[in-house]
Amino acid sequence: MDQTLEVVRGSADMWLDAAYESLLEGGVDAVRILPLGKKLNVSRTSFYWFFKDREELLSALLGRWKQKNTGNWIERTEAYADTVCEAMLNVFDCWFDDTIFDSRFEAAIRSWAQQAPEIADQLAEDDEQRISALTALFARFDYAPRVADIRARVAYFTQAGYVSTKPREDMSVRMKRIPDYVEVFTGVRPKKHELERFYARRNFKFRARARID
């Protein structure tokens, strides 16, 4: 698009970014064309160059959430790992990195789902996709089907609980709990080198490294 026209009309991504911010700030009711136009300092009519109506914008917003949160979650379950502990730590990246799994976006979608049955249905589908991906992770490491399913659900709903309750938890405390979470979810205690690789990805260091295993 010509840069002059983009200044006047905005762009599809600009409108979507503004919708995302409004969803996080005020819920789905805050995602309205006129307020978004004011936020972008463009005319309301410019919206229709990119979206047919508000429902199409909301659909695109939901699609962004699916691509980022569900897509990246599944990708992390499929990442290379020599052991089940490494595989679980790969998924734990979603717990700590909003560039992989956007927790605020997740919470906003779950709030939206409480108001809209059609969104609740789509959320339930994505929940099952993520649980299925975790179940497949356990299956790769020879867990029995029923055990794989239960362990996947325990791990998944723990993360869902964090998103929903937003606990005030010091990062160092949460990091120190990582070995125990891995052991609870997998039944296997992670090795020191596995934990160190995970902590290095998160740029986190303990003062007493010898205590991590």
**pLDDT the model gives residue 10:** 66
**pLDDT the model gives residue 117:** 97
Say how far apart CA 78 and CA 66 lie, in whole Å: 17
Q: Is the sign of the CA dihedral 115, 116, 121, 127 positive or negative?
A: negative
Reference 68, options 23, 102, 112, 116; nearest CA is 102
Q: What is the pLDDT of residues 170-184, one digit of tens each?
A: 888 889 999 999 999
**pLDDT the model gives residue 2:** 46
Three-state SS for 62? helix
pTM comes to: 0.88
| Contact residues for 15 (Cβ-Cβ < 8 A; gap 6+) | 36, 40, 47, 50, 51, 57
**pLDDT the model gives residue 9:** 57
Q: What is the pLDDT of residues 80-92, one digit of tens each?
A: 999 999 999 999 9
Mean pLDDT by 10 residues, the chain (213 residues): 49 94 97 94 90 97 97 98 98 94 96 96 97 98 98 95 82 91 97 95 68 51
Reference 131, options 106, 166, 158; nearest CA is 158
